[in-house]
Structure 1
Amino acid sequence: MLSLSTTQRDELLAIYRKDSDPELRFRAHIILLLADGHPWDNIESMLFCSSRTVDRWLKRFQAEGLEGLTGRKRGRPFRLGFGWVAILVNWVTTTTPSDFGFLRSRWSCVLLALLLREREGVRVSRETVRRWLHRGHLVYRRPRPTLKPDEDERQVKLAELRKLLEEMPEDETAVWQDEVEVHTNPKIGRMWMFKGRQAKVETPGTNKKRHISGSIHWRTGQVFVTEAAPKQGRDGALFIKHLDDLRRRLRRYRKIHVICDNAGSHTSLEVIQYLWKHEGRIEVHLLPAYSPDLNPIERVWWHLHENITRNHRCKDLEELLDRVFTWLGQANPFQIEGSAYPKARAA
């Protein structure tokens, strides 16, 4: 049986479906049928050809690959050297048009063709530039916006948190806190389905959601959650309610250190007044900005979405919340994932 790599199969399928040469489509069809395990007799009867034809193109493909089917290298000959491809790739990936005096924020094929003519004396069209960029394994796609944290600030705060945990007395403890939203309109994720038949996940239509504030205990991995009131957002009142729950659940500890992000709900005036009132019992420490990777409770929420909320088929919010809290209860305690912090000593 003929074996094809994923790349070979994709290229053969592209030829069979789109190539303008019927002879080339015919040869690709033969190879694809052989790779799928069809007997030679069936291929001969389906394509109205002889065994000699099947044998010829099989041997050509095994000896020369795709070029053996075409009889020539596919596409227009590359008349200029690969050095120009490297130059274009370097310009696009390491510079901006403003570095060359252009009043533009991003590269275009026309602009690159103009720059090649002005700086290198090479006259090519924008379509040639496009083909060269593809040869350099570049594609024209929408980028993903990201927030770049201040690395110096990140390292300073991380060192402070590590020192806090390493030197923490036995009568004090720490938790990592964050909120999560549970929606009746499910998050969509991958699932098994029949090939060519996209599965459907029915949604309620009108979305309803509920916020949950949660913390994971540094020493035990126990997760404590506080459900927000209906229509209550991620606000200071929910955070304070969760802090009250922590004080009750962790009564054995003299002081609780709560490590959380810089959200406004964690630094509002009402939260500051609450912390002033309970000074010595509870203290909040802020993570570096844009650092969800330093908050282990984020991994708990990721597992929650993977196991419960993604592609769920709950009819209403009450059914969904019941599953969420049941899963949280069964999965407790959680493993604290990641190695950014020292492991806790036995309490």
Structure 2
Amino acid sequence: MKRQGFLDDESRRDLIELARDGSAAHRLARRANALVLLDTGMNFAAVAKVLLLDEDTIRTWRLLYEEDGIDGLVSFGYEGSACRLDDEQQARLISWITETLPRSTRAIGAWIAAECGIEYQSRSGLIALLHRLGMEHRKPRAISRKLDPEKQAAFIKAYENLLNQLADDEAVLFGDAVHPTHAVRPVGCWSPKDVPVAVEQSSGRDRLNIHGAIDLETGRTVMKDVLTVDAASTIMLLMAIEAMYPGKRLIHVFLDNARYHHAKLVQTWLARSDCRIKLHFIPPYCPHLNPIERLWGLMHRHTTHNKCYASFKDFSIAMLDFLRSDVPKNWTTWCDAVTDNFRIINPTKYRILT
């Protein structure tokens, strides 16, 4: 492919006119401008730098013009771009990434430069290359080595059977404890690019202990603010659940396997002849099978993300008001974020990083 002087006089005049035409689409004018600069002898890297683009984009525009002239430049539905690596180099790159799972585009660019002698000057061009090769940047999921797919499947089946046979005078709730700390959680947000943003950080490290439960059918919650999460707080929670459902003959409560949920004190309380609570336990190491864990995430998004509370009292009020009042009140809006749409996590289907 001829790099310099590849345009004839007429084509060059047409492209210059197009680049200068204020009524032409901005994207089209930039493409015309790029080709004129290439024709003067500037290389792909230089043109990309001038136009604040990546080299692959400039190469693509050159190929479009080579194949279809100005009509090719007008087409904005073109997928992909010219790759600077040949097929063998691409295969080696894919193999290396698959084997090593590099954490940054900097490391990938360094490998390409060392192994293929090609330097990518822009991160965007390198990212475009990786996407074309079927790669994506992802965060590993933290999973327990002790996850048992068979136990998960058995739990899900038993839960679905329970719901299918649930009588009108029965209810189902999911319970758990959470310990939010009086601290703001900074998260990303959109803002004008010339306006720096910050969030004030609280000075305290006080912790709120909440032992709670939620009814996925109605969004009703029981949230106990306790000094310590233990067997006594478990009994307090179960008593509050019974009080909330005076007309229910049987109330099914699903809990994790925390030691205090199995305490002898709790077992003695459950053994009462008039007890209407029946406990069910989620398989070990399976927080994904407890929907209330999703409620805790929803709680943080609405109460601690980019929000600072001057005092621990203000923080506690906001947290408890959200869980006790806002969740039931807005359940039709938030119910899809806190569901019992369970799935089985099988560690053998993941590549475990070491």
- Interval containing the TM-score (normalised by the shorter chain): 0.5 to 0.7
d(CA) in 2 for partners of 1:276, 1:199? 56
CA spacing shift, 1:308–1:244, aligned 2, 3 Å: same
Pairing of 1:251-330 with structure 2 (within 5 A):
251-277=246-272, 280-328=275-323, 329-330=325-326
Distance 1:325 1:140, change over 3 A: closer
**How far apart are the structure 1 equivalents of 2:268 and 2:117?**
60
Which residue is 2:115 aligned to? 128
CA 1:126–1:267: 2 relative to 1, 3 Å: farther
Tell me by how many angstroms 1:286 deviates: 0.8
Q: Deviations over 1:166-192 (max 9, x none)?
A: 222322222111222222112222223
Alpha-carbon shift at residue 226 of structure 1 (Å):
0.9
Q: Report whether the alignment pairs 1:332 with 2:328.
A: yes
TM-score by length of 1: 0.61
Tell me what 1:145 maps to: 142
Tell me which residue corresponds to 2:188: 190
Q: 1-side partners of 2:316 and 2:211: how far apart?
A: 13
Q: Tell me what 1:246 maps to.
A: 241
Q: Which of 22, 27, 47 is the equivalent residue of 1:27?
A: 47
Task: For residue 256 of structure 1, report the CA deviation from its aligned partner.
Answer: 1.6
What is the SS of the residue equivalent to 2:208? Answer: strand
Deviation at 1:139, TM superposition (A): 8.9
Q: CA deviation at 1:241?
A: 1.5
* Residue aligning to 1:63: 65
1:212-252 alpha-carbon deviations (Å, 9 max, x no partner): 122112442211211112xx2x3322222211211222222
In the alignment, the residues of structure 2 paired with residue 290 and residue 256 of structure 1 have an alpha-carbon distance, to the nearest angstrom, of 24
Q: Is the 8 A contact 2:219 2:327 kept in 1?
A: no
Question: Contact between 2:178 and 2:209, CA under 8 Å: does it hold in 1?
Answer: yes
Superposed CA deviations along residues 292-330 of structure 1, whole A, max 9, x for unmatched, are: 333332333222211112121211111012122333313
The 3-state SS of whatever aligns with 1:257 is strand
Unmatched 5+ stretches in structure 1: 13-21, 34-56, 65-72, 94-105, 107-123, 342-347
**2:19 — aligned with what?**
none
1:69-148 to 2 correspondence within 5 Å? 80=88, 82-85=90-93, 87-88=95-96, 127-128=114-115, 143-147=140-144
Q: Does the CA contact (< 8 Å) of 2:254 and 2:280 recur in 1?
A: yes
Match of 1:209 in 2: 207
Q: So what's the TM-score if we normalise by structure 2?
A: 0.60
| CA RMSD across the alignment | 4.4
- Gaps (5+ residues) in structure 2? 1-24, 35-41, 54-58, 67-81, 103-110, 119-128, 343-354
Q: Secondary structure at the match of 2:202?
A: coil
Q: Displacement of 1:339 after TM fit?
A: 5.3
State the one-letter code of the partner of 2:224. Answer: T
Q: How has the CA–CA distance of structure 1 residues 89 and 203 changed in structure 2, closer, same or farther, with 3 Å as cutoff? A: closer
Cα drift, residue 92 of structure 1? 5.5
Contact 2:291–2:340 under 8 Å retained in 1: no
Instruction: Give the whole-Å Cα distance in 1 for the aligned partners of 2:308 and 2:278.
Output: 40
Q: Distance between the aligned counterparts of 1:332 and 1:162, measured in 2?
A: 24
Q: Cα deviation per residue 1:21-51 (whole Å; 9 max; x = unaligned)?
A: x976653354249xxxxxxxxxxxxxxxxxx
Q: Label 1:290 to 1:169 Cα distance change in 2 as closer, same or farther (>3 A).
A: same
Any idea what the Cα deviations from partners look like across 1:254-309, whole Å, max 9, x if unmatched?
22211122222322333223323467421110123333333332333222211112
Change (3 A) 1:129 1:278: farther
Amino acid at match of 1:332: P
Going from structure 1 to structure 2, the CA distance change for 1:194 and 1:208 (only over 3 Å counts) comes to farther
Name the structure 2 match of 1:165.
163
Residues 63 and 222 of structure 1: is their aligned pair in 2 closer, same or farther, counting only changes over 3 Å? same
SS in 1 for 2:187: coil
Q: Distance in 1 between matches of 2:204 and 2:220?
A: 34
Distance in 2, matches of 1:173 and 1:238, equals 21
Which amino acid in structure 2 is aligned with residue 153 of structure 1?
K
**What code does the residue aligned with 2:143 have?**
T
